[in-house]
Amino acid sequence: MTEPDAIPTTTNPFLLFQQWYENAREKEADPADAMSLATCSLDGQPSVRMVLLKDHGNAGFVFYTNNKSRKADEIRQNPQAALCFHWKSLQRQVRIEGKLEIVDNREADRYFATRSRESCMSAWASEQSQILSSRAELLSRYKERVAQFEGQSVPRPPFWQGYRLAPEMIEFWLHLPHRLHDRVLFKKSNFGWERSRLFP
């Protein structure tokens, strides 16, 4: 409950996120890059799922998916979205809201080339979010792609792309005793980032 345990004073939310993220990568038992992604269709139906953070910086937070998936369809309808990181062992949470934009092809190609060969094959094999008749169908499609790309590099599928959430709001939450948690909100303005503290 003492001030040294509270969220440090900074006017740069990206610097604070980087510090918390590095700390989570060192100490969190679960993957530190796991984040919930909330999207919403035009008719107001929300949905949320876990995705993996693949890049981040002042421009935003990047993840990848099949552009035939439900999330991609909702993003096309309504590009406003929200992310949430929860690092349980550190008792910290980061919420981010903003607009999603498509990552350019060169950046997507560079990231795809870092994936394991098996993960590249699965990207080709899966028609994400579509009806699957059986698991055997998925495994068969995977084997077909293994045969197709045998002895050659695996290119990024044209239907597989990245999205970057450009933040308009970033909130940091830190658990403290007696439910006197610390919450710090950063909101983007024409003059940079405005910082305020919220009641827990």
Same structural domain for residues 72 and 124?
Answer: no
> Is 45 in the same domain as 107?
yes
C-alpha to C-alpha distance for 68 and 123, rounded to whole angstroms: 12
Task: Say whether both 28 and 95 belong to one domain.
Answer: yes
Q: Structurally, how many domains does the chain consist of?
A: 2
Residue ranges of the chain with per-residue pLDDT less than 50: 1-2, 4
- Provide the CA 154 distance to its chain's centre, in angstroms: 24
Task: From 67, 65, 61, 30, select the one nearest 49 (Cα to Cα).
Answer: 65
Q: Tell me which of 92, 179, 183, 195 is the catalytic residue.
A: 179
pLDDT confidence of residue 8: 81
Kindly state whether residues 130 and 191 are assigned to the same domain.
no
Provide the residue range defining the domain that includes 135.
116-155
Say which DSSP state 77 is in.
Answer: H
- CA distances to 111, 136, 167 from 83, rounded to whole Å, are 21, 33, 10
Residue 14 and residue 39 share a domain: yes
H/E element holding 160?
strand 160-174
Query: What per-residue confidence (pLDDT) applies to 5?
Result: 52
The three-class DSSP label of residue 193 is strand
Rg (CA), the chain: 19
**Distance (Å, whole) CA 128 – CA 51:** 13
**Domain match, 169 and 188 both:** yes
Do 53 and 141 lie in one domain? The reply is no
CA 40 to chain centre: 16
Same domain, 136 and 170: no
Q: Where are the beta strands (DSSP E) in 24-134?
A: 34-40, 46-52, 55-57, 60-66, 80-87, 92-102
Q: What is the pTM of this model?
A: 0.92
79/167 same-domain check: yes
CATH number at residue 174: 2.30.110.10
The pLDDT assigned to 2 comes to: 46
pLDDT of residue 9: 84
Q: What was the pLDDT predicted at 30?
A: 85
Q: Is 145 a catalytic residue?
A: no
Listed in sequence order, the DSSP H helices in 13-163 are 13-27, 70-77, 105-112, 117-125, 135-148
- Cβ pair 150, 184 in contact under 8 A: no
120-136 pLDDT, tens per residue? 999 999 999 999 999 99
Q: Residue written as tokens 């060969």?
A: 117
